[in-house]
Structure 1
């Protein structure tokens, strides 16, 4: 499994595998290059954080200044949303945390500093997963286990019940966001979401933020509630190494009130909101923390 992952990583970052000549074949031992040239698979430089970052392309997030290396531009290592989540939940010391879509591990880094029992962080994007592993090493994240794969079957099949589920930047990338909320409700009595949402008022016709919307609206039923879902596409953004969307080009946004109603139907009766951004450049967005006062309801 590890060998296959490393081969996949090599192809993604542009390395060429070494080829050996078969029996009876002769080839130049230098492969057509100077014998003292450094092979592509090697770094002939003093070990440093930048070497590790440069292994994988497409970084979105900046490293904290103490790392002394350049990655992406967004400084999520000082994101106020995770501290707000923890203010609502309370201490996570010794608690079990599930993080959906850690991207490059910066929220994981903030959670890890609070000494949880463990963090299961599940990322489906191969390059993002590799960047998480580099972040884990550079920032000395101690309590997190990063896993590569789809978190939906994990939520469906795991027997772990988490004290807190963190899903920042995830819900609006789902092909069935209602199903994700239902699965979260089965695995925890507390959840933090940051998500974009559809709003006719905040994003009327003519708003350029609607360009990615197809105009199609599908409705599904959930426990007597009729939920409209607004279809969206990535318009080939997934071709970029830095792509950080979902695994399907067809995904759906929900209206904020429907998200809150579904959380209520799932038994979350303590619901708090923050970071309301109707003018967010990518579309209306907000944070919500939800908890059940009666565990397991």
Structure 2
């Protein structure tokens, strides 16, 4: 059988034959979650994370970022990076492991003209393992609960900064008891570990094939663990963060209880 031939006038799928535009750039990468700031009126995702109250709160509590270095872990599509740069950070390294999310970050960076942020494609756990690494602030919004080894991550992050911001889901037997429908994606059993003198409870969880969607923004493996809320705070203290500021408590979040924590050492 002879394969059917396209018309000689048919456009190759990998090309765009229209006037160059910001919307063309957005449409070149699928799976957008975030909207763009108003000064860039393109159609992308629905969430206005360029004005995220969680990051706004972090900036208020931390103080000026003028002259400061920031490491952002899991930047998703660059919206929080945008807020951090506008707050005056001198240097931002943003590390993203999801290939499509990384490309969306590059499109976002180009269209909103970020100047002091660099996006890096790869595993931020490996990035944190570099010798003599130090940042004034590490921002880890929406990543802790996607990790197969959240304790190892916290240890590496604590070695690289004196100020760590987390927005994360957590486990709570009170806020999310075994009968709660949100527990349906958790695997059976509780893992118990001793970490820097803290007895930690970890709850393995599955994505249930959510990673097959182009907009998936979870972890690298279908093997991640949530930490009990009180255990997480105890771990942060054990790692030397003696000031913990907490906000955005949402026990009824549809995916599971969540909150923000800005953890600092006294000198930070």
Please tell me the TM-score bracket, short chain as reference: over 0.9
Kindly provide the CA deviation profile for residues 90-142 of structure 1, in whole angstroms up to 9, marking residues without a partner as x.
11111110000001111001101122121000000000000000010111111
Q: Partners of 2:190 and 2:222 in 1: how far apart? A: 16
The answer to whether structure 1 residue 177 and structure 2 residue 153 are counterparts is no
Distance (Å, rounded) in 2 between the aligned partners of 1:167 and 1:65: 25
Query: Which residue number in structure 2 is paired with residue 135 of structure 1?
Result: 108
Q: CA 1:79–1:185 in 2, change beyond 3 Å: closer, same or farther? A: same
Out of 186, 210, 220, the position equivalent to 2:193 is: 220
Structure 2 counterpart of 1:28: none
1:48-107: CA deviation from partner (whole Å, max 9, x where unpaired) = 111111111111111123211111111111111111111111111111100000011110
Distance 1:79 1:105 in 2: 12
Match of 2:177 in 1: 204
- 1:95-244 aligned at under 5 Å gives the runs 95-244=68-217
Q: Secondary structure at the match of 1:273?
A: strand
2:55 counterpart (82, 101, 117): 82
Q: How does 1:27-38 map to 2 (within 5 A)?
A: 32-38=5-11
| Runs of 5+ consecutive residues of structure 1 not aligned to the other structure | 1-30
Give the stretch that moved more between structures: 78-87 or 162-171: 78-87
Partner of 2:37: 64
CA distance in 2, matches of 1:260, 1:48: 47
Larger Rg: 1
Query: Could you tell me how far 1:286 is from its partner in structure 2?
Result: 0.1
Equivalent-residue separation in structure 1 for 2:43 and 2:184 (angstroms): 32
Q: Which runs of 4+ in 1 moved over 3 A?
A: none
Deviations 1:123-170 (A, max 9, x none): 000000000000101111111110000011110114331000000000
Aligned residues: 265
Q: CA deviation at 1:278?
A: 0.3
Deviation of 1:247 after TM superposition, in Å, equals 0.2
Is it true that 1:262 corresponds to 2:235 in the alignment? yes
Task: Please give the alpha-carbon distance, in whole angstroms, between the structure 2 residues aligned to 1:64 and 1:216.
Answer: 43
The more displaced of 63-72 and 101-110 is: 63-72
Deviation at 1:254, TM superposition (A): 0.3
CA drift of 1:206 comes to 2.1
CA RMSD of aligned residues (A): 1.2
Matched residue SS, 1:211: helix
Conserved 8 A contact 1:115-1:143: no
Q: Tell me how far apart the structure 2 counterparts of residues 200 and 215 of structure 1 sit (CA, whole Å).
A: 14
Q: Give the structure 2 partner of residue 292 of structure 1.
A: 265
How far apart are residue 35 of structure 1 and its match? 2.6
